[in-house]
Amino acid sequence: MTFRDDPLVFSFSTIEPGDGQRWSTWPATTPSERGPRPWPAWLVTSAGAIDTELGVVKGGKEADVFLIERAVPDDPTQSTILAAKRYRGAETSDFHRSSQYVEGRKMRNTRDSRALAKKTSYGRSVASAQWAYAEFVALSALYERGVAVPYPVQLHGTEVLMEFIGTGMSAAPRLAQIRGTDDELADLFEQVVEIMRGFARAGYAHGDLSPYNLLVHEGRVVVIDLPQLVDVVGNPAGMTLLERDCLNVCTWFTRRGLERDPGELLGDLVVELFG
Ligand SMILES: Nc1ncnc2c1ncn2[C@@H]1O[C@H](COP(=O)(O)OP(=O)(O)O)[C@@H](O)[C@H]1O
Ligand SMILES: [Mg+2]
Protein backbone atom coordinates (compact mmCIF):
# COMPACT_ATOMS: atom_id res chain seq x y z
CA MET A 1 0.00 0.00 0.00
CA THR A 2 1.34 3.41 -0.91
CA PHE A 3 0.30 6.86 0.25
CA ARG A 4 -0.77 7.73 -3.25
CA ASP A 5 -3.17 4.82 -3.40
CA ASP A 6 -4.67 5.46 -0.01
CA PRO A 7 -4.83 9.11 1.08
CA LEU A 8 -6.29 8.10 4.46
CA VAL A 9 -3.08 6.41 5.45
CA PHE A 10 -1.26 9.55 4.52
CA SER A 11 -3.46 11.80 6.63
CA PHE A 12 -3.23 9.53 9.66
CA SER A 13 0.48 9.14 9.48
CA THR A 14 1.33 12.85 9.32
CA ILE A 15 -0.18 15.61 11.39
CA GLU A 16 -1.75 18.38 9.37
CA PRO A 17 -4.56 20.72 10.40
CA GLY A 18 -7.89 19.51 9.01
CA ASP A 19 -11.30 21.16 8.63
CA GLY A 20 -11.90 23.83 11.25
CA GLN A 21 -8.25 23.69 12.22
CA ARG A 22 -5.11 25.75 11.73
CA TRP A 23 -1.60 25.69 13.07
CA SER A 24 -1.39 27.58 16.35
CA THR A 25 -0.92 31.25 15.54
CA TRP A 26 1.32 31.67 18.59
CA PRO A 27 4.78 30.93 17.09
CA ALA A 28 4.40 33.54 14.32
CA THR A 29 3.08 36.24 16.65
CA THR A 30 5.42 39.10 17.54
CA PRO A 31 6.15 39.65 21.26
CA SER A 32 4.15 42.90 21.35
CA GLU A 33 1.07 40.97 20.27
CA ARG A 34 1.40 38.37 23.01
CA GLY A 35 -0.08 38.60 26.48
CA PRO A 36 1.79 40.03 29.47
CA ARG A 37 4.45 38.01 31.26
CA PRO A 38 4.67 35.96 33.30
CA TRP A 39 2.71 33.72 30.98
CA PRO A 40 0.14 31.62 32.81
CA ALA A 41 1.06 27.95 33.29
CA TRP A 42 -1.87 26.82 31.14
CA LEU A 43 -0.66 28.73 28.05
CA VAL A 44 0.24 26.45 25.11
CA THR A 45 3.23 27.93 23.26
CA SER A 46 4.46 24.89 21.32
CA ALA A 47 4.99 25.34 17.56
CA GLY A 48 3.45 21.88 17.15
CA ALA A 49 0.10 22.98 18.56
CA ILE A 50 -3.05 23.02 16.44
CA ASP A 51 -6.02 25.34 16.95
CA THR A 52 -9.38 23.64 16.54
CA GLU A 53 -12.58 25.61 16.26
CA LEU A 54 -15.11 23.91 18.53
CA GLY A 55 -18.03 26.23 17.95
CA VAL A 56 -19.47 29.69 18.36
CA VAL A 57 -19.90 31.02 21.89
CA LYS A 58 -21.92 33.95 20.71
CA GLY A 59 -22.41 35.88 17.51
CA GLY A 60 -22.77 39.61 17.90
CA LYS A 61 -23.16 42.78 15.89
CA GLU A 62 -19.51 43.72 15.78
CA ALA A 63 -17.75 40.51 16.63
CA ASP A 64 -18.27 36.77 16.97
CA VAL A 65 -16.78 34.83 19.84
CA PHE A 66 -15.53 31.33 19.01
CA LEU A 67 -14.47 28.49 21.25
CA ILE A 68 -10.99 27.30 20.29
CA GLU A 69 -8.96 24.38 21.53
CA ARG A 70 -5.20 24.93 21.28
CA ALA A 71 -3.47 21.62 21.79
CA VAL A 72 -0.44 19.57 20.87
CA PRO A 73 -1.73 16.37 19.25
CA ASP A 74 -1.10 13.33 21.43
CA ASP A 75 0.10 15.39 24.37
CA PRO A 76 -2.74 15.77 26.88
CA THR A 77 -0.59 18.00 29.10
CA GLN A 78 -0.54 20.68 26.39
CA SER A 79 -4.16 21.52 25.75
CA THR A 80 -6.20 24.58 26.55
CA ILE A 81 -9.54 26.12 25.68
CA LEU A 82 -9.51 29.74 24.47
CA ALA A 83 -12.05 32.33 23.44
CA ALA A 84 -11.39 33.95 20.05
CA LYS A 85 -13.21 37.23 19.54
CA ARG A 86 -13.22 38.05 15.83
CA TYR A 87 -14.21 41.51 14.73
CA ARG A 88 -16.26 41.73 11.59
CA GLY A 89 -15.89 44.09 8.68
CA ALA A 90 -18.19 47.08 8.50
CA GLU A 91 -20.47 45.41 5.95
CA THR A 92 -22.06 43.34 8.74
CA SER A 93 -21.72 45.90 11.47
CA ASP A 94 -22.93 49.39 12.16
CA PHE A 95 -19.97 50.12 14.42
CA HIS A 96 -22.32 52.26 16.46
CA ARG A 97 -19.64 52.84 19.05
CA SER A 98 -17.28 54.49 16.61
CA SER A 99 -18.06 58.18 16.63
CA GLN A 100 -18.13 58.61 20.39
CA TYR A 101 -15.04 56.59 21.16
CA VAL A 102 -12.48 56.94 18.42
CA GLU A 103 -12.32 60.72 18.54
CA GLY A 104 -8.67 61.69 18.67
CA ARG A 105 -7.40 58.17 18.00
CA LYS A 106 -4.30 58.32 15.86
CA MET A 107 -4.18 56.44 12.59
CA ARG A 108 -1.05 54.39 11.93
CA ASN A 109 -0.52 55.93 8.52
CA THR A 110 -2.26 57.91 5.82
CA ARG A 111 -2.96 54.83 3.72
CA ASP A 112 -5.01 53.49 6.65
CA SER A 113 -6.90 56.73 7.19
CA ARG A 114 -7.67 57.12 3.49
CA ALA A 115 -8.87 53.52 3.26
CA LEU A 116 -11.08 53.99 6.31
CA ALA A 117 -12.61 57.13 4.89
CA LYS A 118 -13.31 55.43 1.55
CA LYS A 119 -14.85 52.36 3.21
CA THR A 120 -12.92 50.00 0.92
CA SER A 121 -12.71 46.36 2.00
CA TYR A 122 -9.17 47.12 3.09
CA GLY A 123 -10.64 50.00 5.07
CA ARG A 124 -13.14 47.70 6.76
CA SER A 125 -10.40 45.32 7.76
CA VAL A 126 -8.42 48.27 9.17
CA ALA A 127 -11.41 49.23 11.33
CA SER A 128 -11.87 45.66 12.58
CA ALA A 129 -8.17 45.33 13.31
CA GLN A 130 -8.29 48.61 15.23
CA TRP A 131 -11.07 47.34 17.47
CA ALA A 132 -9.20 44.10 18.06
CA TYR A 133 -6.02 46.04 18.83
CA ALA A 134 -7.88 48.39 21.19
CA GLU A 135 -9.42 45.46 23.06
CA PHE A 136 -6.12 43.60 23.32
CA VAL A 137 -4.30 46.66 24.68
CA ALA A 138 -7.13 47.36 27.16
CA LEU A 139 -7.21 43.76 28.41
CA SER A 140 -3.43 43.75 28.82
CA ALA A 141 -3.33 47.04 30.74
CA LEU A 142 -6.10 46.00 33.13
CA TYR A 143 -4.78 42.47 33.57
CA GLU A 144 -1.41 43.90 34.60
CA ARG A 145 -3.17 46.04 37.18
CA GLY A 146 -4.83 43.00 38.67
CA VAL A 147 -8.35 43.77 37.42
CA ALA A 148 -10.49 40.64 36.88
CA VAL A 149 -10.39 40.36 33.07
CA PRO A 150 -9.70 37.28 30.91
CA TYR A 151 -5.96 36.83 30.32
CA PRO A 152 -5.23 38.28 26.84
CA VAL A 153 -3.36 35.50 25.04
CA GLN A 154 -2.62 37.22 21.75
CA LEU A 155 -3.69 39.62 19.06
CA HIS A 156 -3.93 38.16 15.57
CA GLY A 157 -5.16 40.64 12.99
CA THR A 158 -8.87 41.15 13.62
CA GLU A 159 -8.94 38.45 16.31
CA VAL A 160 -8.31 38.68 20.05
CA LEU A 161 -7.49 35.33 21.65
CA MET A 162 -8.11 35.25 25.37
CA GLU A 163 -8.62 33.04 28.35
CA PHE A 164 -11.95 31.24 28.13
CA ILE A 165 -14.04 31.97 31.22
CA GLY A 166 -16.10 28.87 31.85
CA THR A 167 -16.08 25.22 32.78
CA GLY A 168 -15.07 22.70 30.16
CA MET A 169 -16.71 23.96 27.00
CA SER A 170 -19.53 25.89 28.72
CA ALA A 171 -19.08 29.62 29.00
CA ALA A 172 -19.71 31.20 32.39
CA PRO A 173 -23.14 32.84 32.69
CA ARG A 174 -23.50 36.58 32.36
CA LEU A 175 -24.49 38.50 35.48
CA ALA A 176 -27.82 39.18 33.71
CA GLN A 177 -28.71 35.48 34.05
CA ILE A 178 -27.87 35.25 37.75
CA ARG A 179 -30.44 34.97 40.54
CA GLY A 180 -29.13 35.13 44.07
CA THR A 181 -29.91 35.78 47.70
CA ASP A 182 -29.38 39.28 49.07
CA ASP A 183 -26.04 38.21 50.51
CA GLU A 184 -24.91 36.74 47.20
CA LEU A 185 -26.03 39.84 45.32
CA ALA A 186 -24.26 42.12 47.81
CA ASP A 187 -21.07 40.12 47.30
CA LEU A 188 -21.40 40.31 43.49
CA PHE A 189 -22.03 44.05 43.69
CA GLU A 190 -18.88 44.52 45.78
CA GLN A 191 -16.88 42.59 43.19
CA VAL A 192 -18.26 44.76 40.37
CA VAL A 193 -17.38 47.90 42.34
CA GLU A 194 -13.86 46.55 42.91
CA ILE A 195 -13.52 46.06 39.14
CA MET A 196 -14.80 49.60 38.51
CA ARG A 197 -12.32 50.96 41.07
CA GLY A 198 -9.53 49.17 39.23
CA PHE A 199 -10.55 50.90 36.00
CA ALA A 200 -10.84 54.26 37.78
CA ARG A 201 -7.42 54.00 39.44
CA ALA A 202 -5.96 53.61 35.95
CA GLY A 203 -7.96 56.63 34.74
CA TYR A 204 -10.52 54.59 32.81
CA ALA A 205 -14.18 53.77 32.63
CA HIS A 206 -15.33 50.57 30.91
CA GLY A 207 -17.71 52.56 28.72
CA ASP A 208 -20.15 49.73 27.97
CA LEU A 209 -20.62 48.15 31.37
CA SER A 210 -23.79 46.14 31.78
CA PRO A 211 -24.87 42.78 33.24
CA TYR A 212 -24.13 41.35 29.78
CA ASN A 213 -20.45 42.24 29.95
CA LEU A 214 -19.89 40.78 33.41
CA LEU A 215 -19.43 37.01 33.66
CA VAL A 216 -19.83 35.10 36.91
CA HIS A 217 -17.53 32.09 37.13
CA GLU A 218 -17.56 30.02 40.32
CA GLY A 219 -18.74 33.01 42.30
CA ARG A 220 -16.10 35.36 40.86
CA VAL A 221 -16.99 38.28 38.59
CA VAL A 222 -14.94 38.79 35.41
CA VAL A 223 -15.45 41.79 33.14
CA ILE A 224 -15.27 41.45 29.33
CA ASP A 225 -15.87 43.44 26.13
CA LEU A 226 -13.32 46.25 26.47
CA PRO A 227 -12.64 47.70 22.99
CA GLN A 228 -14.26 51.01 23.84
CA LEU A 229 -12.30 51.55 27.08
CA VAL A 230 -12.73 55.22 27.99
CA ASP A 231 -10.06 57.63 29.14
CA VAL A 232 -12.25 59.49 31.63
CA VAL A 233 -10.29 62.75 31.63
CA GLY A 234 -9.04 62.75 28.04
CA ASN A 235 -12.38 61.91 26.42
CA PRO A 236 -14.87 64.80 26.42
CA ALA A 237 -17.66 62.28 27.06
CA GLY A 238 -15.62 60.49 29.76
CA MET A 239 -17.62 61.51 32.80
CA THR A 240 -20.94 60.91 31.04
CA LEU A 241 -19.86 57.40 30.07
CA LEU A 242 -18.65 56.66 33.61
CA GLU A 243 -21.99 57.87 34.96
CA ARG A 244 -23.81 55.61 32.54
CA ASP A 245 -21.74 52.59 33.66
CA CYS A 246 -22.69 53.39 37.29
CA LEU A 247 -26.35 53.73 36.35
CA ASN A 248 -26.42 50.44 34.39
CA VAL A 249 -24.88 48.52 37.27
CA CYS A 250 -26.98 50.06 40.05
CA THR A 251 -30.21 49.77 38.09
CA TRP A 252 -29.68 46.05 37.60
CA PHE A 253 -28.91 45.35 41.27
CA THR A 254 -31.78 47.56 42.43
CA ARG A 255 -34.19 45.65 40.16
CA ARG A 256 -32.98 42.43 41.72
CA GLY A 257 -33.88 43.84 45.14
CA LEU A 258 -30.47 45.13 46.23
CA GLU A 259 -30.92 48.88 46.28
CA ARG A 260 -27.79 50.71 45.17
CA ASP A 261 -27.34 54.38 44.39
CA PRO A 262 -25.51 55.33 41.16
CA GLY A 263 -24.58 58.76 42.51
CA GLU A 264 -22.88 57.22 45.51
CA LEU A 265 -21.00 54.76 43.30
CA LEU A 266 -19.89 57.58 41.00
CA GLY A 267 -18.63 59.55 44.03
CA ASP A 268 -16.63 56.51 45.15
CA LEU A 269 -15.06 56.18 41.69
CA VAL A 270 -14.26 59.88 41.37
CA VAL A 271 -12.22 59.54 44.58
CA GLU A 272 -10.28 56.71 42.90
CA LEU A 273 -9.81 58.76 39.75
CA PHE A 274 -8.59 61.95 41.36
CA GLY A 275 -7.87 60.97 44.95
N1 LIG B 1 -13.32 35.22 27.47
C2 LIG B 1 -14.56 34.75 27.40
N3 LIG B 1 -14.91 33.61 28.04
C4 LIG B 1 -16.17 33.13 27.96
N5 LIG B 1 -17.17 33.71 27.27
C6 LIG B 1 -16.89 34.85 26.62
C7 LIG B 1 -15.59 35.43 26.64
N8 LIG B 1 -15.61 36.55 25.91
C9 LIG B 1 -16.87 36.68 25.43
N10 LIG B 1 -17.65 35.66 25.86
C11 LIG B 1 -19.08 35.45 25.54
O12 LIG B 1 -19.37 36.05 24.30
C13 LIG B 1 -20.32 37.10 24.48
C14 LIG B 1 -19.96 38.28 23.58
O15 LIG B 1 -18.69 38.79 23.91
P16 LIG B 1 -18.45 40.33 24.09
O17 LIG B 1 -17.00 40.54 24.31
O18 LIG B 1 -19.38 40.89 25.11
O19 LIG B 1 -18.78 40.89 22.61
P20 LIG B 1 -20.02 41.73 22.04
O21 LIG B 1 -20.97 42.06 23.17
O22 LIG B 1 -19.37 42.95 21.47
O23 LIG B 1 -20.61 40.84 21.01
C24 LIG B 1 -20.29 37.42 25.97
O25 LIG B 1 -21.51 37.91 26.46
C26 LIG B 1 -19.95 36.09 26.58
O27 LIG B 1 -21.10 35.32 26.74
MG1 LIG C 1 -20.77 42.39 25.12
Tell me if 95 CB under 6 Å of ligand 1: no
- Please name which of 260, 244, 252, 261 lies closest in space to residue 179, comparing C-alpha atoms: 252
What pLDDT sits at residue 228?
97
225 noted as active-site residue: yes
How much is the pLDDT for 107? Answer: 56
Our answer on whether the CB atom of 162 is closer than 6 Å to any ligand 1 atom is yes
Number of Cβ within 10 Å of residue 143's Cβ equals: 18
Surrounding ion ligand 2 within 5 Å at CB are 213, 225
**CA 95/CA 201 separation, integer angstroms:** 28
| Reduced 3-state DSSP string for the chain | CCCCCCHHHHHHHCCCCCCCEEECCCCCCCHHHECCCCCCCCCCCCCCCEEEEEEEEEECCCEEEEEEEEECCCCCCCEEEEEEEEECCHHHCCCCCHHHHHCCCCCCCHHHHHHHHHCCHHHHHHHHHHHHHHHHHHHHHHHHCCCCCCCEEEEECCEEEEECCEECCEECCEHHHCCCCHHHHHHHHHHHHHHHHHHHHCCEECCCCCCCCEEEECCEEEECCCCCCEECCCCCCHHHHHHHHHHHHHHHHHHCCCCCCHHHHHHHHHHHHHC
Q: Which domains does the chain have, with CATH numbers?
A: 22-166 (3.30.200.20), 172-274 (1.10.510.10)
pLDDT tens-digit readout, 75-103 = 999 999 999 999 997 543 333 334 444 44
Which atom of ligand 1 lies nearest, measured to the CA of 212? 25
Q: Whose CA is nearest to atom 4 of ligand 1?
A: 165
Q: Is 183 a catalytic residue?
A: no
pLDDT at position 108 is 57
Does residue 63 have its Cβ closer than 6 Å to ligand 1?
A: yes
208 close to ligand 1 (CB < 6 Angstrom): no
Taking the chain (275 residues) in consecutive chunks of 10 residues, what is each chunk's mean pLDDT? Answer: 46 73 96 97 96 93 94 95 90 39 54 68 84 98 98 97 97 97 98 98 98 98 98 97 98 98 98 93
Which of 225, 231, 245, 268 is an active site residue? 225
The pLDDT of residue 105 is 54
Give 227 Cα–ligand 2 centroid separation in angstroms: 10
What's residue 259's pLDDT? 98
Best probe residue, ligand 1, of 58, 96, 226 (max atoms within 8 Å of C-beta): 58
Catalytic hit among 74, 208, 261, 268: 208
Residue 60, ligand 1, Cβ within 6 A = yes
pTM for the structure as a whole:
0.87
| Closest ligand to residue 62's CA | 1
Note the pLDDT tens digit of each residue in 37-76.
999 999 999 999 999 999 999 988 889 999 999 999 999 9
Beta carbon of 213 within 6 Å of any ligand 1 atom: yes
